[in-house]
Amino acid sequence: MSRYLLRRMLIAVPSLLGISVVLFTVLALAPGDPFGELATNPNVPPEVGAALRAKFGLDDPVWLRYLHWLVAMLHGDWGFSFVSRMDVDRLILQRLPATLLVIGSSQVLALLVALPVGVLAARRPYSLFDQIANTFAFIGFSLPTFFTGLLFILVFSIYLDWLPFVFRADLAATGWRWYWEEFRQSIMPVAVLGLFQGAAWTRYVRSAVLDVIRLDYVTTARAKGIAESAVITRHVVRNALIPVVTLVALSMPAVFGGAIITEQIFRVPGIGSLLISSILANDTPVIMAVTFVFACLVILFNLLADILYGWLDPRISYR
C-alpha cells in the first residue's frame, strides 16, 4: 500500500503542474484588469496604479509571473487578494467552514437517501416501491438546484415562515441557541444539494445492486441457507458499492463547483460565493487559488476511491 501511495503521489505532481500552467495561462490572458478602476478614477494619480502593477508583477511576462506564483505556492504563500486586501489563504480559511458544513452535510444526506432506497428498490424490481423511488429520483435530478432552492425559499421561508432564507455568518446567539440557529439556516441549502445528489445516486445504486444480485455466488449463498439480510449486506451491497464509490469520488469535486449556485441563492459565505465575487472583480490570485484547490480535490478523491476499492473487494491488489 505504501509503495502504491508513493507512486500515485509522484504521478500527481506533474498532473498538478500541468493543471496549474493551464489555469494560470488562461487567467492571465483573460480580459479584465484588477486595477482597471484606478486608471479611470481621477482621484488616483497614474503613478499609484503603475506602482501597484509593478509591485504585483502584472506587467511581467506570463511565464515569469507563473514562476513567481509557483515559487510562492511552494513556500506556502497563496498570494494577496486585490479586492479583500488580505492574504488569499486567510480569505479561503474564513470561507471554508461554511462550505464544508453545507457540502459535508449534503453528501451525508445524499448517501443516507441513495443507499437504502437504491438497495430496497433493487431487491424488488418493478414493484410499487421501485416505481415510486424511480419517479422521485427522476424528478429529483431533473430539477436544477437553483429551481429547487427558490422553491424551498418560497414554501418554507415566504409562505410558512419556518426557516431563514439568508445564511448568516454573524449569528448573535450564543451557546445552544447558536447551534440551533446554525442548524435552521443550514437545512435548506443542505437539503437542496443532498436531495439532488441523492436522487442521482439512487439510480446508480439500484443499477449496481441489480447487476450483482443476479450473479451465481448470490444464488449459492441463498441455497446454503444464509439469511437474506446477510446475503444482501455482506455479498451484494459490498460488491455493488465498487462502481458507486467511483461515482461518488469523481462527483465530489463537481459538488463543490455545483454548490456555487446554491451558495449564491442562500447567500452562504462559502468558497463558491467567494469564487463568483472574485471572477466579477478580476481578483486573479483568489480565482487561481480556488480553482487549483478544486483540481487538487479531483486527484485526492480519485486516490481515496482507489484505496476504498481494496477494502470493498480483497481481490484487488495494489501493485
| Rg of the chain on CA atoms, in Å | 24
Q: What is the pTM of this model?
A: 0.75
Q: What is the pLDDT of residues 259-273, one digit of tens each?
A: 777 778 888 887 877
Higher pLDDT, 197 or 318: 197
Euclidean distance between CA atoms 85 and 285, whole angstroms:
11
- Which amino acid appears at position 231 of this protein? V
Burial (Cβ within 10 Å: 0-12, 13-18, ≥19) of residue 142? exposed
Q: Which residue reads 442548524 in cell numbers?
A: 183
Q: What is the 3-state secondary structure (H, E, C) of 188-210?
A: HHHHHHHHHHHHHHHHHHHHHHH
Q: What is the pLDDT of residues 45-74, one digit of tens each?
A: 666 666 766 776 677 778 888 888 888 888
Cell of 153: 425559499
